[in-house]
Amino acid sequence: MSSHRATASNVALPLDDLYSIGKLVEAYPDLLSVTSLRWQLRHRAENGLATSCVRIGKKLLISKTRYEQWIASRVEMV
């Protein structure tokens, strides 16, 4: 019998939480650019952003909630 543990990467996501790169940038035009988001996504395996992403065919979608959590985890306390 195999045990299944819920992790951030396999917990169900509401479909309305998934955004394309363009739609996420549209939602936050003052904070994001397509270029910066693509750079973050290109390095998602190294920077921890991979758990915010879902690939459906060739399309890469980003969980808005998980992306916000990822940003919050990277905030430096000054």
In CATH, the architecture of 16-74 is: Alpha-Beta Complex (3.90)
- The ranges assigned to domains in the chain are 16-74
Q: pTM (2 decimals)?
A: 0.79
CA distance 12 to 5: 13
CA distance 10 to 8: 6
- Residues sharing a CB contact under 8 Å with residue 47, sequence separation 6 or more, in sequence order: 40
* Structure confidence by residue, pLDDT tens digits, 5-56: 444 556 688 899 999 999 999 999 999 999 999 999 999 999 999 999 999 9
- Provide the strand spans (E) within 1-78: 18-19, 53-56, 59-63
CA distance 24 to 63: 9
Question: At 3, is the pLDDT very low, low, confident or very high (cuts 50, 70, 90)?
Answer: very low
